[in-house]
Structures are given as C-alpha cells and as structure tokens.
Amino acid sequence: MEQVRVVLRASDPLSYEGLLSYLQSRSEFTVVDPADQAEATVFVVSCDQLTADVVALLRRSAAELAVPVVLVVSEITEAELLIAVECRVVAVLPRGAVTADRLAHSVLAAANGGGVLPPNLVGELLKHVERLHREVLTPNGLNAAGLTSREIDVLRLMANGFDTHEIADELCYSERTVKNVIYGVTHRLKLRNRAHAVAYALRTGMI
C-alpha cells in the first residue's frame, strides 16, 4: 500500500512530538520535512485556537499545496470552522481527545477522500444553515417582547421626562437599581442611549 505523506505543524513542541510519535507508529504514514511539503498528501496542523497566524498558515497551505488538512484544535468557533473548511480542512479533532487511532483514521480518510468533506463536517455546515433562520429573524436572540415589567416601568417614566432620581423615588428603587435597569435594557437591545430606548419602547407599543 502506498504510504500517505504527511506534513506536520504544531504550535508547541510537546504537541508536535506527541503527534509525530503517533504518526511514526503507523506504517501507513511517512512524515515529510516541511521543506519538502510539495510532496505531501495530507497536512496535519495542531493548535490551541485558530489564531491569525494559524489562519494565515492554513490559507498559505490551501493556496500552495491544495491538500486536505486535518486540524487538531482545543476549541473552535462556528465562524472559525467555516474559515477552516475554506482552507481545505476536512477533519477537526479535539486536541484533548486525540489518540493514535483517531489521528490515523482522520489522516487516512483525508488522503482517500479527495478533499470531499466528511459527513460530520457536512453536519456542522448544515447546523450553520439551520441557525441562519434564528439569527436572521431574531437577532441577538431577542424578539419584540423581550422586556421585563421592571424595564417597562422605568422606560415609561423615562418617556414622561423623569430623571434617574425621580424614577427611583416613584418606583421605590435605589438610583443604582434604576441605572442598572437602564444599562441592562440599552446594552441587551444594543440601543444607543436613553432616548433610543424610549423610542424603541414607544415604537414597539411597550409603553
């Protein structure tokens, strides 16, 4: 059987040595020197997070080598996963759960898969599609009914021209509480200031 030629890059020496020992323990793989990376059939990259440097490395390899990539990473966000897939990553292995067998399976699948995304990554992409509906129609996870009764009371008095001290007196709250309520609603709803908060509440019929 023809050996799979692997280029290995890791963000720290310990990970590099660990993954290298895994790969060298299997007769199916030859680890090639990065200087000879043009001969590689699979690229294995290990990192803690997808930092700008790692993304740059992946983009370079996608442009220059165009070989499938196995990414070993501690954590990855949805947006980072999309970047990784764009850079020909076809397998993502959680760093803390990598074993010699799992690494070998992923590298072989990458070598034999012709760059086609495996079912688990297709599944992640389809989850992204499913989330679009929610993200587009209810940005920040909120709908127009996302105010508490306390927030509505404060906004109603703000709309009547009360200042923080007067609102606190009227509702028997401390001024700090009133300020926290105002900060909470403006921050959560991404409103610019008190006037915007009042306008929002009026427009949505909350007050």
Partner 1 sequence: MLADRDAVSDPFAGELFLTLAMEGRLVIDAVRADAAIADLQRTLSAVQNRLHVLRVRQGRPTWRMDDLPDDLASDVVNAIFADQLSPGRLEQAEIELRKYIEAVRCARRPGPPPGAAASNTPEPQ
Q: Which stretch binds partner 1 (CB under 8 A): 119-127, 150-158, 162-170, 174-182?
A: 119-127
Candidate list 30, 118, 159, 162; residue touching partner 1; CB under 8 A: 118
Q: Which is nearer to partner 1, 13 or 141 (CB)?
A: 141
* Residues 6 or more apart whose Cβ sits within 8 Å of residue 91: 68, 69, 70, 71, 106, 107, 109, 110, 118, 121
Measured from the CB of residue 65, what is the shortest distance to partner 1 in angstroms? 15
Candidate list 9, 80, 153, 173; residue touching partner 1; CB under 8 A: 80
Interface with partner 1, residue 76, by CB under 8 A: yes
Interface with partner 1, residue 85, by CB under 8 A: yes
**What does the alpha-carbon distance between residue 147 and residue 185 come to, in Å, rounded to a whole number?**
8
The CA–CA distances, whole Å, from 161 to 154, 166, 192 equal 11, 9, 18
Candidate list 63, 139, 165, 193; residue touching partner 1; CB under 8 A: 139
Interface with partner 1, residue 77, by CB under 8 A: yes
Length of the chain: 207
Candidate list 5, 59, 128, 179; residue touching partner 1; CB under 8 A: 128
Residue found by looking up tokens 């692997």 in the block? 6
Helix axes 100-112, 13-24, angle to 10 degrees: 70
Interface with partner 1, residue 187, by CB under 8 A: no
User: Chain-centre distance of CA 90, in angstroms?
Assistant: 17
In contact, 4 and 106? CB cutoff 8 Å: no
Interface with partner 1, residue 119, by CB under 8 A: yes
| Beta-bridge partner residues of 42 | 6
Interface with partner 1, residue 205, by CB under 8 A: yes
- Indicate the residue type of 6: V
Q: Under the rule (CB under 8 A), what is the footprint of partner 1?
A: 75-82, 85-86, 88, 92, 94, 101-102, 105-106, 109, 112-120, 122, 124-126, 128-133, 135-140, 142-144, 189-190, 200, 203-205
